[in-house]
Structure 1
Amino acid sequence: MTLTPASSADDIVAHLNTLRNEGNIAGMARFGIDTSTALGITTPQMQAIARQAGRSHERALDLWSTGLRDARMAAILTADPRQLTKQEVRTWAGEFNSWEVVDTAADLFTQTPFWQDLVAEFAADDREFVRRTAFAMIAGATVHNKQEPDETFIAHLPLIETHAGDPRNFVRKAVNWALRNIGKRNRFCHVPALALAENLAASSDRTARWIGKDAVRELKSDKLLARLKG
């Protein structure tokens, strides 16, 4: 079945069902992905579906409302960030149940004009995947939002320090990811990010210490230092 911009949410769901792959579902589970509603659609397949279907914000909302993992991934890839509202982002984030959905959506969210407001809000939220969203947004924006001033990311370092003690796996990895990405952005960002990483590495808190040591290892690597000097 070939999808088009005129395809409905039902059309896309029907197409997704034809691509169900039990082997892929098992593989996803091994990577800690919630597969309770998964069909095992691969990333290249999902990207092809998004290209064929094109952007449609209303259809994306319909896809999200199905609750199906793969339909929700299609929703993320075909939603229009210019039409996303804060409440829609909050609703989606509150329903996240898997790290890979979070990380894909985070890239969409950082294309909105209000993404920085939601970073602080989501970081303060105690739900694991909502808090992960905050730091996945920082990590993604550091790489993809090329026009964003460096000061934006440096200003997020205190937030990273505040939540560096959260021991939950999907939070601590995202906090670490955000810190490393800030430090890798350029020489200007590298200095304060490395300073924070070194402080965390010396922390008495086990989680903060792991985040810091791992970040220091990458931020002081010969390969990265050579790139930043170039």
Structure 2
Amino acid sequence: MARYAIHAPKAFGVAVGQLRALAKRLGRDHALAQALWDTGWYEARLLAGMVDDPKLVTPEQMDAWRADFDNWAVTDTLCFDLFDRTPHALAKVDEWVGLEGEFDRRAGFVLLACVALHRKELPDAPFLERLTLIEAGATDPRNFVKKGVNWALRAIGSRKSPALKVAVLEVAARLAAMSDPTARWNGKDALRQLNKKTG
């Protein structure tokens, strides 16, 4: 797992595909998810995110689990499979992007990306309002934060909304024109990816 930059001292080496198959057989189980999380094992924590019931997840649980994030894979799996489906997702985005820890802050931006990808029913407003968070975070040079910021920007720009696409392209252009190298990378990469989709 080291070749994927995944820090996981307690790991069995089970493939994610096998975990997803197991999660499908188990179904949603909130109590099991908490028990799995509490083991501290890498695969158990991935599985916890796959089987927990988003309707039963509290803001306190989200904060407690987020405080344990120590690699990008657990961070992204929890945001992609569970946290983005809770009613607390956008409030946690607002909180977490302001935290200092690398995976705490990554969680905020990845959660925003996952909400943009999965919550098709949401209007444009929550995403337009949070473009300022992306601009503010775009100069953080830490690799996992930088990539989370970039993902959030591209995910919002990929929603089926011309207004969002225009707004995201404007943000990306501003970032691409900045002297800060991280902001410039975020802007240029987002412009390249979003223009590729429409080109």
1:76 paired residue number: 49
Q: TM-score, normalised by structure 1?
A: 0.83
1:94 paired residue number: 67
Asked if 1:211 is matched to 2:186, the reply is yes
User: Would you say how many aligned residue pairs link Structure 1 and Structure 2?
Assistant: 197
> 4+ residue runs of structure 1 moved beyond 3 angstroms?
none
SS of residue matched to 1:220: helix
Q: d(CA) in 2 for partners of 1:79 and 1:99?
A: 19
Q: Deviations over 1:17-59 (max 9, x none)?
A: xxxxxxxxxxx21011113111111121001111122221111
2:113 paired residue number: 139
Q: d(CA) in 2 for partners of 1:40 and 1:181?
A: 30
How far did residue 219 of structure 1 move? 1.8
Identity of counterpart residues, as a percentage? 43
Superposed, 1:60-209 pairs within 5 Å as: 60-107=33-80, 108-186=82-160, 187-209=162-184
Q: Select the structure of larger CA radius of gyration.
A: 1
SS of residue matched to 2:113: helix
How far did residue 201 of structure 1 move? 0.3
Q: TM-score, normalised by structure 2?
A: 0.96
Q: Read off the aligned partner of 1:73 and give its amino acid letter.
A: L
SS of residue matched to 2:97: helix
How far did residue 106 of structure 1 move? 0.6
Show structure 1 runs of 5+ residues with no match. Answer: 1-27
Structure with more contact order per residue of length (Cα contacts < 8 Å, sep ≥ 6): 2
Superposed, 1:22-41 pairs within 5 Å as: 28-41=1-14
Asked if 1:44 is matched to 2:17, the reply is yes
Q: Read off the aligned partner of 1:188 and give its amino acid letter.
A: A
Show structure 2 runs of 5+ residues with no match. Answer: none
- RMSD over aligned Cα atoms: 1.0
How far did residue 181 of structure 1 move? 1.1
SS of residue matched to 2:6: coil
SS of residue matched to 2:110: helix
